[in-house]
Chain A
Amino acid sequence: MAMIRVEGKDHGNLVLYTLSTCVWCRMMKNFLAKMEIGYDYVDVDTLADEERSRTMDEVRHWNPQCSFPSLVVNGEQCVVGFSEDSVKKALGL
């Protein structure tokens, strides 16, 4: 899948599902950038057909509501939506 890598400090395996048009998703990316944390992300709205439905299956696995942003931490837990507090808590910041 077309995951985009953002280099930064290692806080575990972070996979972020976003929409390119979503402002809360943008705030999540900005916060991770501000904290200089490395992660992988994909803007699901820019994917087509097969790739989109395969990616949505992944999102659905972690967040049945399929809302954005969804941040999967170490393949163990998923932070849904954006708040600094919930991201800090999940990453132990």
Chain B
Amino acid sequence: MNGGPGNPTGIDLYYEDLAAQSKAAGYHLNPDSGFVKALVEGLFLNQERYGYPSCPCRLASGRKEDDLDIICPCDYRDADLGEYGSCFCALYVTQAVLQGNARLASIPERRPPEGSRTHGEAPVREMARPSLPAWRCRVCGYLCAREEPPATCPICKAAKERFERFL
């Protein structure tokens, strides 16, 4: 992260990085740049507050292990894009929304309430054990079979800690 608190360049750089990363990963930011900048300010503030850019539209606990699923891009983005055309914040939108074929609205919260979140649940046991464990990126769904998850998801660039054991 570049720039310190109150440094406008930091927010501008964050915005540029986000736009470049989204484009490279095949995702679309909301075409309303004012809307996106407001969300980026929130992400930047959360990075300062918690040490990670948790979702600006959700209340972070400040404990990273409990907030992993809402570090932007969150675990719920792809499902919400599929069902509603945008993520919970409407930071990310679908091609259809981008082309003006769908109208954005505030969408229901998909994240399970505290107490019923199931992170790190045991992988399925019915199948024969593979020669290597399979790891799933919780952000984009990328799967790979290797001893450890990669340090960075080669598809969406999410960090190693966003992977779960799949098989």
Contacts and interface: CB of A to CB of B under 8 A. Distances in A.
A20 B56 CA distance: 8
Interface of A is mostly: loop
B113 A66 contact: yes
Given A65-B109, A81-B107, A83-B105, A24 B57 contact: yes
25 contacts: A20-B42, A21-B39, A21-B43, A21-B56, A21-B57, A22-B89, A23-B35, A23-B38, A23-B57, A23-B90, A24-B90, A26-B38, A44-B59, A45-B59, A65-B108, A65-B109, A65-B111, A66-B109, A66-B113, A67-B58, A67-B108, A80-B108, A81-B106, A81-B107, A83-B106
Nearest to A44: B59
Contacts of B22: none
Contact of B106 (A20, A24, A56, A65): A24
B35 A81 contact: no
Interface of A: 19-26, 44-45, 56, 60, 64-68, 80-83
Contacts, number: 60
Contacts of A81: 106-108
A68 B105 contact: no
Contacts of A83: 105-106
Interface in B29-76: 35, 38-39, 41-43, 45-46, 56-60
A81 B80 CA distance: 15
A67 B106 CA distance: 11
Nearest to B54: A21
Interface of B: 35, 38-39, 41-43, 45-46, 56-60, 89-90, 105-109, 111, 113-114
A66 B114 CA distance: 9
A32 to B, nearest CB: 15
A66 B38 contact: no
B55 to A, nearest CB: 9
A23 B87 CA distance: 13
Determine which residue in A44, A45, A56, A81 has the highest number of CB atoms from chain B within 10 A of its CB, and name it: A45
